[in-house]
Structure 1
Amino acid sequence: MTEGTRTDRSGLLLGQFDQAREMAQVRLKGLGDDEYLWEPVAGSWSIRRRGESPTPRAYGPGEWVLDRGVPDIPASEYAEVARQAAGGMAVSKIADDWSVSVDRVEQVLAHSGEPEPDETPVTTIAWRLGHLHSCLAGQWEWTFGERRREPRLLVDFFPSASVALDRFWDLIGRWRDGVAAVTEEQLDTVGFSQYPYGSDPDDPFAAVPAGANLEYIHHMAEISLIRDLWRGRSTTSG
């Protein structure tokens, strides 16, 4: 263990976040607009001008919106839904969190065996970064902010990689400052975060930054892979 390393809950959460942020900042250096908006395959999800998205629930407050499809529970979340139900969460609440019907939740809970792999769309770097920005902005607003604004209308999406990154790094700095100021008692407080899209209101707050770290790490890994594919595209074409 490095001398001075914190091993309390906040310290572990913040240390993990800081290391992931440092790695992401290195990996995202030099990101250009063409790469940021590159669609690796036909039908990729991205950010698009309002009115040009082929997806039914694209959102955003400005000229550019983030592609978003019909609501569903992905197979990767079946186990989490089962844990929530086993822990006493009402099926109707789970359905509300996922914007699906009660019948769909019951179908997931009744599933046995290995679920079929999700047929998820390939996404651009712009989409992944915009999705992360939108989620964290909503969690900040409903944890440390006024807890009243619609989370999906908090972030303007931009076709400029440099603008999007500058705003994103600023947001995650504010998120980290908020988490760093949380007390041990608040870490154990159920509903300290009231972010409406998910289980935050039903969880002790310690689970919220832990989940945010997981979301951040896995999406940044995906972004890094897209950068690798972009760099190698000229050697595999033709």
Structure 2
Amino acid sequence: MTHDNLNGAELAILNSRLEGIVRKMANTLLRTGRSGVLNRAKDFSCCIVTADCELLAAAESLPIHVLSGPDIMARTMIDYHPVLKRGDAFFHNSPYHGCSHPADLTILVPVIDGDGRHRFTVLAKAHQADIGNSEPTTYMATARDVYNEGALIFPAVQVQRDYRDIGDIIRMCEMRIRVPEQWRGDYLATIGAVRIGERELLALGEEIGWDRLD
């Protein structure tokens, strides 16, 4: 961000706008999540990361969520997918690439401006009722390793292209997860949250100019 173009009052207003976006993302996830893990326990987080993979704004949530690796996860997405397009979305829950543990399934969406330039990444991390682990439980305290805790490990795997689901990935999840209908409801809530964040950031960039957000 170019501070010489924004005075203190304008920076405060912009900060409030960004915080409003992540709060809107979190409220969407809370109100539309299917499982009690999301709509009661609030075991999720939403944030915005810059194109340089620095945490920019985060909604109030569990510290283990928002403070455990959004920058690393965004960097993994960029490293594995150097050509990002508007409408892309990626699953990520690899503990070896910044995620807290496999049950915290994250969706990353790159925010691409009208010129095809990657400006931000929006993330929503939501604890799953089941992730295909070896026992039917959402919190597996007895897990001996990540393979015991989660059968589905996604290192920034693409799940949407042109705003459409990649059916192979969705079907794989529904077959492996013990509560497929509940999982799909939580997936739709999470993808809805990040798409709202993307929409709001695109509108903000058009309103005040992308150069002022750099």
Could you say whether these structures have the same fold, taking a TM-score greater than 0.5 normalized by the shorter chain as the test? Answer: no
**TM-score of the pair, normalised by structure 2:** 0.31
The structure whose residues are more often strand, as a share, is: 2
Whose Rg is larger?
Answer: 1
The structure whose residues are more often helix, as a share, is: 1
